Amino acid sequence: MTQSQATAEVFYTAFRALKKSEREAFIERLLADKKLAEEIFLTVALVLFEEKKLALAQASRLAGLHQYEFQKELAARNIPVHYGAEDFERDLQTIGLIK
């Protein structure tokens, strides 16, 4: 388990242990703290991307970052970008259409 995954698991477990009213109060407080909300959305996006549950564009959007900025966050955490043979073939086809 990576550090990002462990962080997400601890957060999720603690959040689920709260009563519904406490979860709602936490969410209201979270949304009021823009910096903290940004950090949490980034962390969630990184974990979901790393687990291949979100594509790069989806994870970038969730984190509120441009794809290039999100890729910098991935690199800083040594999380590889998912780019396989199928992606390469699609890119080659796209380049062929542009010519």
d(CA 97, CA 28): 48
Percent of the chain whose predicted confidence (pLDDT) is above 70: 98
Instruction: State which residues form the domain around 20.
Output: 3-98
- How many structural domains does the chain have? 1
Residue 71: what are its φ and ψ, rounded to 5°?
-65, -35
Q: pLDDT tens-digit profile of 13-41?
A: 999 999 999 999 988 988 899 998 899 89
Complete DSSP assignment for 22-58: HHHHHHHHHHH-HHHHHHHHHHHHHHHHHTTSS-HHH
User: What does the pLDDT read at residue 1?
Assistant: 73
The token pair at 91 is: 């890119």
Is the model's pTM score more than 0.75? no
* 99 pLDDT tier (thresholds 50, 70, 90): low
Closest CA to 79 of 62, 97, 99, 54: 54
